[in-house]
Structures are given as C-alpha cells and as structure tokens.
A and B are shown apart, each in its own frame.
Chain A
Amino acid sequence: MTIGAMIGDILRSLFKKPITERYPFERKPAPERLRGKLHYDPEKCTGCMLCMKDCPANAIEILTVDRAAKKFVMRFHTDRCTYCAQCVQNCRFNCLGMESEEYELAALSREPFVVYYGREEDVQFILDRAAQENPDGTDPCQPPAAA
C-alpha cells in the first residue's frame, strides 16, 4: 500500500525535454510503408478495370480513350480515397503505387482533389470531351446546382 505510486514518473519527467513535435515547422520522416497519394503509370495499364471494381470508395475512374491502342486516363478523387491500397494489390501490371511522401493532401477548394493521370494528349482529349459535354463549364464531379 503506497500513496502516490507514480510520483517517481512525474519527478523523472520534470527533467526531460517536452516530447511535443513542432509540426509543421519540423517534419518527421514518413514511415516507409505509409499509404499516401495514389500514382498511376499509363504505359503499363491494360484497362482491366479491377482497381475500379474493388475500390471501396469509388475514388478511381478509368476513362477509355482508345481501347485498341491501350490508351487510358485515370481520374482519381483524393478526397474520396480511403487509402486502403486494395487497388495497388489488384493491379497485376504494377501500374499503381501509393507514395509515402505525398500525404498532406488538404486543400481549400475542391479542384485539387480531382487528379488526372495519363499521357498528356490523352488527358487533354478527356478534358476536351468533358468540356464538350458540359459547354457551360460546370465541373462534372460537382453536384448539380440547385435550379
């Protein structure tokens, strides 16, 4: 039976430096296996769409530019993604990867959350097609404005 059984811990802590991390002024290195922003390599993609099928958050859209020439564009929604890496597991051609460096993905508007991956001309093709379908310039990913 004692009183103040943790007094030793408290006294020892008095002479220790505070453990608080001064984020964002000092950044600790991210753990090696951290699942950060998704990256896509259009050169290897065969358009099997398995990543899209198993995504629990519907964060991935594979848009077909030319199926015969294997031209695909990925529209990735960073705000919907739960960073579970199921898509990376599903991809048999190693064209998906989650980088451990890019993880500070907060933004002040919704635009940065829609990311297009693909060959430059293919992305332009998709954007042009989207612009044609929506001539008034509304973002197809946004909910329709109230009438």
Chain B
Amino acid sequence: MSETPETPQKFVVPIGPQHPALKEPGHFEFSVDGEIVTGASVRLGYVHRGIEKGAENRNYAQAMYLMERVCGICSHVHATAFALGTEKLAGVTAPARAQAIRTIVAELERLHSHMLWLGVAAHEGGFDTLFMYSWRDRETVMDLLEAITGNRVNYSVNLLGGVKVDITPELADQIRKGLDFLEERNQHYLKVVTTDETFLGRTQGVGTMTKEQAFLTGAVGPTARASGVEIDIRVHAPYAGYPDFPVNLVIDTAGDLLARFVVRIKEMQESCRLIRHILDHMPETELTVRMPRRIPAGETISRVEAPRGELFYFIKSNGTDQPERVKVRTPTLCNWGSVINFAPGHKLADMPMILAGIDPCFSCNDRLISIRRNEQDPQLWSWEDLRQYGVQYYK
C-alpha cells in the first residue's frame, strides 16, 4: 500500500501482477477512501506471446492450430473464427454437417466455459460449495467433448474446409444423456444463485451497469446482455450452423452481478436446447471440402460469439500459403472498460467478484504492448540496448 503525497487521504491498493486472488497476471490499482473504491485502473500485457506475429510465419493449416492455443478455455471458437475467415477468403464453404458439428462443439464449449466461470465467480464470492459442485458437473461436459474429439482442451475439431470428427448416433445418445444431467443441475444452480440469501448479499445490486453505460464502454457478450444490450453474434450475424439452427437471445435488464449469473445459467440451458435440436436434425453431407493451399489475395473479417462475447478476427492474405496479417480481438479486452467504470463506489472486498464477473481471460487479450514514454527514460530499452546487454552478459 502506498500513500501519494499530493492527496494524503487517498490510498492506492495495488493488486498484481502476482497476487493470490488472480489466476493470471494483470495489474490493478484501486484508489480507496476508507473501504470504498474511488478509482480503478488496469494494466495488461504481462502475458503477451506474439501469437499474431507467429501466425505470419506459418501456413494456414499451421496457423489455425496456433490460433486454437490463444485461449485454453475457448480454444474451439478461435479455430472456428480463423477457419471461417480463411474459407471466406478462399471462396469455399464447409458442408452443412461440418458446420453443424462445429456448432455443437462450440455450444458444448460454451457450457463448459460458463460452468467454469460459475465456479470461479462463486469462489471469489466465498461460496466454495457452489464452486466444487459446478466443477464436478463440468466434468460431464468435458467427458462429452473428450468422447467427441479425443481431447479435453484443444479439441482440434476444425480443418480448413470442414471438420475431422463425425458425431455417430451412439455419441449423440451419449450427449443427450449428459445434457439431461446438466439441464437438471443448471436448473438447481439457477435456484441456488437466485435464492441463497448469503450469496445474494454479494451479488444483488453489486457492480450495476446500465444499458447506456454498457453501450458507452463497448461491453460485449453475457456482460452486455446482463445489462439489457441485445448483442449476440450468433443472432445478429449468424455463422457456421447458426443460420440453420437459430439460437434464442438471453437478456436480463438488472445489470448487476446477479443478472450476469442468471444470464449465463440461462444461456447454458439455451445451449442444451440448441444441441438437442441440432442432434435431432443433423444434415447428411460430407465432412470436408477441398481447400486450396494458396489462399487468394484479399482481406476479410470473421466474427464469432465466444463464451465471453464477440471474438473478432481480421485476416489478410497476399496470395501465398501464409497469412500476411492476422489480427485477433478477444472479448475480454472490450469488457475491461466496463469494469473500470462501474468499480468506483463499491467496497474493496467486492472487487474480486466484479473482476470475475466479466469472466476475464488475461492471456487471451494481450496482443501488443505500446510504451508511451520519454526516449531518455533509463527504464526504456531499445532492441539494440537489449542486444548489447545480452552480449555483455554472456561474455
């Protein structure tokens, strides 16, 4: 804790980059007046991995697997966004069955991501029972994903121009059985978060964001939908299997933490309904189409709805088999503005829950670091300085 000399009453509480409450590195500074937070700032960039640059040195197939590793929770949507963008550039459309399988895996992934979030957010609020049980039930959907794809995290379902795996009738039955259990549990969790008095004390009226604020700060995904903003790429710009299998928009108007719980749990129920609907009406087509190795020159954008909100890809091709530029914008980056804006006025103890409320994914959103400092700053090193330092160090 440090005291700034100009304003003796103002304390700044730094949290991070390494902190027990944070799962990933990020730096937050909360200025507090007693227990009440009066200002908040966030500093990111601790887990920048240079993925966009890495994609420029790989061919499209290799880059897709690299993109799948942007996020460990929503790996499939990244590969889908990249594959859809590349297919658009090449003028190829994946067959209907492949699109349906992409959609099923995306919805299962949404289920597992939201259940993970439910656990993490409950844990931040001190409700560890809910955390343990929701993570136990999450194993069901993880097992389903493992049965369909062969892996629990990086599913590698997508190919450029289709998918690798098929969903057989036996697998479909297994999925339906898993969904029965999940639907029942989600109904139970919805009841728990809306009725448990102790937990409501932590969520109701905390971190409230109005519809106008959500618009102004550019919130996306369930965070925006909990404030009544009707924004969902699956509904407004359908991709993959969503044009054939429409999804219902889930919104809530309260805008507080409780609304974010309710929206996400209801979204899980909607995902279950959608998966069942697709399984009952699976198109009978091939799984892949032929994809050219060299992608025609051009640029495109590709938007998909990740579990956390809108995921945006920009792909530029120069006619070779390697992308010239790939730009990724993940939903967490859009949601930081909203956290910083609605944090003031709350107790410091509410900060972990408010931060967790947007379902942040730190390493996903670290893209580029731009340092705005004086050239003479001794802390600022150029590439040449670093090189010289390295040469001297190893001499």
Contacts and interface: CB of A to CB of B under 8 A. Distances in A.
A116 B58 CA distance: 26
Contact of A84 (B65, B129, B197): B65
5 contacts: A10-B129, A31-B147, A33-B150, A56-B61, A83-B156
A117 B130 CA distance: 50
Nearest to A100: B150
B365 to A, nearest CB: 23
A24 B200 CA distance: 42
B248 interface: no
Interface string A1-44: 11111100110000000010000000000011111000000000
A89 B191 CA distance: 46
Interface string B142-171: 000011111100101001000011000000
B149 A1 contact: no
Q: Which of A2, A5, A35 has the most CB of B within 10 A?
A: A5
Contacts of B200: 1
Interface of A: 1-6, 9-10, 19, 31-35, 53-56, 82-86, 89, 100
B217 interface: no
B291 to A, nearest CB: 11
A127 to B, nearest CB: 29
A55 B159 CA distance: 13
Nearest to A10: B129
Given A54-B61, A56-B62, A89 B159 contact: yes
Contacts of A83: 151, 156
B93 interface: no
A54 B151 contact: no
Contact of A6 (B65, B129, B154, B197): B129
